[in-house]
Structure 1
């Protein structure tokens, strides 16, 4: 079936030039800095003050779009070239956002708008955006002076670099591990899982199945492999990734984490907080550290008795195999066995009922019933053949777009997330319609067969799509508070 071309403008992902993208980001940083440098005095007129904020929104929109493309590619198609460009831009980007967050005149402009009698004439979204901006100015050290302000900038830049290093180490450590398997080690695995492991072996030019730490392979082995030694080996490899306990110590994050914790504490104290937890909660719903701690303790207390009962059941079933001491690498395996015994139910037996194309079709039908929007696949440039692009239509009019990147692969960070490429915003060119990415790490298709999802993967897909709907169906036109 030939798809119609995408309606909304989007990047040419199939032939993005990293040098050109880098130049675009550098241009946006320079334009932002120029604007801040020329903003010497707070405008006296309320309309002129609001116009300053609108100009900042335009600049931020351009920045978030160009930097967002690079960040996205670094997360889903990480390689040496993309990573090098990403890392090279971090210092300038950190410097710009520190300058922005500590710009006294810009802060005073926001404050005067907030304190003006005309503030109430602004929309609820505009008022909310201004209140949040004032909070963020304070959390960025706008009130700091002299050496304290300089030190905050140093800490912010270093934390950006350390955060990137941490993520890179985890990804590299995950991809560095693989374990060739013999036929005996495959006992208990479904045929589809075995075919997946063979596919991983072929990718490494091996003629035997290979276990990796990618989530589809890892979960299949930890849940179904009868070979306890194999489960132990994979569990230890997974839980010690990017640590001094791993076989790949070049990716050790120990010193990275220690420095992150130290700098976060120093930054929090600089800003007047006792610790980083207080600083973090300043932009969250929970009122204080004590409330969070009490919530977690109460949750643990309520969960303890059921958890102890479930562990006892697992120990009983494990003893049938001669295992007297249940280990962490046994939990998933015997949980699945217990489920099969008690309910005659297995994730593997459910998977044929969840072929990805049918699940996606059903998801779109549910969204149509709930919100009255149609979801149509369109032809658009993508960064990988597995990726698909769709547009949302309301009464025949395109209102948003999104990308599905659902399957695990080499060079892709683990987990599942939704991130915005473009937010809904009223620009000088008209209404900008939202586009987002929805990324998962599901078991990929094997051969010519469709991907078969687990029930957990179906839940994850619906969960992430909920975030996507939040981003795409917003009716707010202010970039800082539109969507998720």
Structure 2
């Protein structure tokens, strides 16, 4: 690796934690200033590996395995940076992420367009060795050939250059889109007095009260983060409060807010660039490109499935909506039923018709009970055991677990980040920190991120 020796020596005080692949990510030591040196060193190593691969014999061990190793290290290091950018954003980390994103984009584009390397994979796929490889290795080779074609390896030089420009701009626009949405979500809050809190559950009010106090304000603070937004929409008796929260959420990062957060022109540009990219590759639309690695065969097949599903479901949906509108008009005095009334009216109808309230049921599923129940289901289905464990973490709320099989062998590990934060993107997702792969005679233990946006406990409440 082309990097100063001290940065590769774990005993050195100048050691960069992003280039340590001996174990779990060292989140407790990782800082924004580590990003650029690590990226530069790993990309230099990747390019050197590509050069050696071009002169190596056509075999798995000679050129595919070294490339897989080098690219896995790049993916692992950048994956840590991208993960922190999504769950613990800061101005310094955002700057480091955006400064280095073009470098990564350029590297992967160069790799995908390397004609000599493409031909090397083609030669391996046509060689006698290919049929002797295991199914996993054959799939890696097949996917590599597919990705070379999708990466523009067969394009003319001038089209390759344009393809690279498009990829870099798309990466930049995608990052900015996500950042705009996070910034717009963080920017809005509303503090109300007690007269406007009717119907909202006590645990939600406790969190809202704590949030207001943290800002040095009296009252109850509500935001657009899911743990605050969703209970207001479902339970708040104050229709104006529901309308305000709904409109602010629906118009985040749009032309109705700050110009610098407006994603409207970004969306238009992304669509335009994707269309051009697809046409460069010989496809009619980006939808066709998207489907190449997927099960569906064509956009027409996907649309046909969705149209068929819609036709079958629509009569039932229309019946449900008609019943909800009539209930809202007759029982709640809501006429017409607006978008910000739907969740509220649905909750009232559910309670009246079925005597069922999510809030009532919730008390029987405190966090720890729910987690242990979830783990027991997984343990029963797969014959494994899940144990709490220790690992460097990016936030005090993060938990870490390991999975062991019936023989007590560790087969996986995962981080669980349950609670919403201002520095965290909305939604819930899973991503890999370390992939499962064979390294010599051993298997690399897979490690995953499980990310959610639930309300965190307030006081002694579960």
Normalising by structure 1, what TM-score?
Answer: 0.88
Give me the CA root mean square deviation. 1.5
Conservation of the 8 A alpha-carbon contact between 2:242 and 2:341: yes
Q: Write the mapping of 1:249-260 to structure 2, written as runs, cut at 5 A.
A: 249-260=259-270
Q: Secondary structure at the match of 1:13?
A: coil
Pair 1:267 & 2:282 matched: no
Conservation of the 8 A alpha-carbon contact between 1:75 and 1:412: yes
Residue 75 of structure 1 corresponds to 86
Given the alignment, which residue of 161, 177, 182 partners 2:188? 177
Residue 231 of structure 1 corresponds to 242
Conservation of the 8 A alpha-carbon contact between 2:203 and 2:461: no
Distance 1:383 1:362, change over 3 A: same
Pair 1:105 & 2:119 matched: no
Residue 18 of structure 2 corresponds to none
Distance 1:303 1:396, change over 3 A: same
Q: Aligned partners of 1:63 and 1:203: how far apart in 2?
A: 40
Q: Secondary structure at the match of 1:382?
A: coil
Residue 410 of structure 1 corresponds to 422
Residue 27 of structure 2 corresponds to 13
- Cα displacement string for residues 323-366 of structure 1 (whole angstroms, at most 9, x for unaligned residues): 22111101100011111011000111111111111111112222
**What's the offset of the Cα at 1:39?**
4.2
**What's the offset of the Cα at 1:429?**
8.1
- Cα displacement string for residues 221-254 of structure 1 (whole angstroms, at most 9, x for unaligned residues): 00000111111111110010000023x3331101
Residue 64 of structure 1 corresponds to 75
Conservation of the 8 A alpha-carbon contact between 1:201 and 1:208: yes
Residue 175 of structure 2 corresponds to 164
Q: Aligned partners of 1:378 and 1:35: how far apart in 2?
A: 36
Q: Aligned partners of 1:40 and 1:287: how far apart in 2?
A: 34
- Cα displacement string for residues 75-117 of structure 1 (whole angstroms, at most 9, x for unaligned residues): 0001101111100001111110000001112111111111123
Q: Write the mapping of 1:42-441 to structure 2, written as runs, cut at 5 A.
A: 43=56, 45-47=57-59, 49-246=60-257, 248-319=258-329, 320-394=331-405, 395-428=407-440, 430-441=442-453
Q: Aligned partners of 2:303 and 2:72: how far apart in 1?
A: 37
Residue 479 of structure 1 corresponds to none
Deviates more, 1:154-163 or 1:322-331: 322-331
Q: Secondary structure at the match of 1:353?
A: coil
Distance 1:203 1:30, change over 3 A: farther
Conservation of the 8 A alpha-carbon contact between 1:244 and 1:254: yes
Q: Aligned partners of 2:412 and 2:435: how far apart in 1?
A: 10
Bigger relative contact order (CA 8 A; separation at least 6) = 1
**What's the offset of the Cα at 1:427?**
2.1
Q: Aligned partners of 1:385 and 1:205: how far apart in 2?
A: 23
Distance 1:429 1:162, change over 3 A: farther
Deviates more, 1:392-401 or 1:217-226: 392-401
**What's the offset of the Cα at 1:46?**
4.3
Conservation of the 8 A alpha-carbon contact between 2:402 and 2:413: yes
Q: Aligned partners of 2:209 and 2:121: how far apart in 1?
A: 59
Q: Aligned partners of 2:440 and 2:73: how far apart in 1?
A: 13
Conservation of the 8 A alpha-carbon contact between 2:58 and 2:120: no
Q: Aligned partners of 1:375 and 1:79: how far apart in 2?
A: 33
- Cα displacement string for residues 44-76 of structure 1 (whole angstroms, at most 9, x for unaligned residues): x543x5421101110111011100100000000
Conservation of the 8 A alpha-carbon contact between 1:265 and 1:275: yes
- Cα displacement string for residues 158-216 of structure 1 (whole angstroms, at most 9, x for unaligned residues): 10000000000000000000011111110011111111111221332322211100001
